[in-house]
Structure 1
Amino acid sequence: MADPTSSSLFDTPRIWNAAPTEAFAAWLVSDAFAVNRRGERQQLRDSSVRVYRAMFSKFAREVLVPEDGRPPKQLPAVSADDIRRFLDTNALTKGIRHRYIKLLERTFDHLASIGMMEANPARGLAIRQPTRSGAGNEKTMWLSQAQQDAVLAALPSGEGWKAQRSRAMIAAVLGGGLKVSEVIRLPINSVGARQEDGSLLLDVYPAGAGRMHRTRVSAQVAGILAQWRATREGLPLPGKLLFPAGPTGGGLHPATVYRQVKAVLAEAGIPEDLVKRRGARTLRNSFAIRQLETGAAPALVGEYLGHRADRSTRYYTDLLPKNRKG
Structure 2
Amino acid sequence: MPAGLTLSLFDDAPPPRHAAVFKEAFEAWLADQRGSGLLRREGSIAVYEDMWEAFAAWCLGQSPVVALPSLDLADLQAFQAARFGRKTSDLSLTPRYALRLMRLIDRVLRHHASRNEAPLNTAAADWIKASPEMRYADAAHADPLPDYLSVGEARQLIAFLSAARPRPGASRDALAAMTWQEVRNRASVALQLGAGLTPGDVRALTLESVIAHAGRVSERPWKLLVPGNGNSPARETPIAPWAAELLQHWLTVRADAGITGLFIFPSTRTGKQWQKPSQYECAKRVLEEAGMDSREGGSFRLRHTFALRQLRRGTSPQQVAAWLGIEAAKMKRYERVLPGVIDVV
Q: What TM-score, normalized by structure 2, do the two folds share?
A: 0.66
Structure with more relative contact order (C-alpha pairs < 8 Å, separation 6 or more): 2
- Alignment partner of 1:231 is 2:274: no
> Measured at CA, do residues 73 and 290 of structure 1 come closer, stay the same or move farther in structure 2, by a change above 3 Å?
same
TM superposition shift of 1:176 = 0.2
- Alignment partner of 1:178 is 2:197: yes
Partner in structure 1 of residue 39 of structure 2: 47
CA deviation vs aligned residue, 1:185-238 (integer Å, no higher than 9, x gap): 101221121721777111111133111111111012210011111222333334
Give, in whole Å, the separation in 2 of the partners of 1:266 and 1:53: 30
Which deviates more, 168-177 or 227-236?
A: 227-236
> Measured at CA, do residues 160 and 126 of structure 1 come closer, stay the same or move farther in structure 2, by a change above 3 Å?
farther
Does the 8 A contact of 2:110 with 2:120 survive in 1? no
Does the 8 A contact of 1:262 with 1:278 survive in 2? no
> Where does 1:63-82 land on structure 2 (aligned, <5 Å)?
63-64=55-56, 74-75=67-68, 76=70, 79-82=76-79
Larger radius of gyration: 2
Does the 8 A contact of 1:191 with 1:229 survive in 2? no
Partner in structure 2 of residue 149 of structure 1: 155
3-state SS in 2 of match to 1:164: helix
Partner in structure 2 of residue 140 of structure 1: 146
CA deviation vs aligned residue, 1:256-295 (integer Å, no higher than 9, x gap): 33333333333344455xxx33422111010010111122
Give the share of equivalent positions with the same residue, in percent.
Answer: 25
User: Any gaps of 5 or more consecutive residues in structure 2?
Assistant: 1-16, 165-176
> Measured at CA, do residues 163 and 279 of structure 1 come closer, stay the same or move farther in structure 2, by a change above 3 Å?
same
The Cα RMSD (Å) is: 4.3
> Measured at CA, do residues 110 and 228 of structure 1 come closer, stay the same or move farther in structure 2, by a change above 3 Å?
closer
Q: What TM-score, normalized by structure 1, do the two folds share?
A: 0.70
TM superposition shift of 1:314 = 4.0
TM superposition shift of 1:145 = 2.6
3-state SS in 2 of match to 1:203: strand
Matched residue type, 1:196: R
Aligned pair count reads 292
Partner in structure 1 of residue 21 of structure 2: 19
TM superposition shift of 1:170 = 0.2
TM superposition shift of 1:125 = 6.9
3-state SS in 1 of match to 2:204: coil
- Alignment partner of 1:312 is 2:330: yes
Give, in whole Å, the separation in 1 of the partners of 2:132 and 2:261: 43
> Where does 1:1-326 land on structure 2 (aligned, <5 Å)?
19-24=21-26, 26=28, 45-47=37-39, 57-64=49-56, 74-75=67-68, 76=70, 79-82=76-79, 91-92=90-91, 98-107=99-108, 115=119, 119-120=123-124, 123=128, 127=133, 138-155=144-161, 157=164, 159-193=178-212, 195-196=215-216, 200-271=222-293, 276-307=295-326, 309-324=327-342
User: Any gaps of 5 or more consecutive residues in structure 1?
Assistant: 1-14, 34-42
Give, in whole Å, the separation in 2 of the partners of 1:152 and 1:229: 19
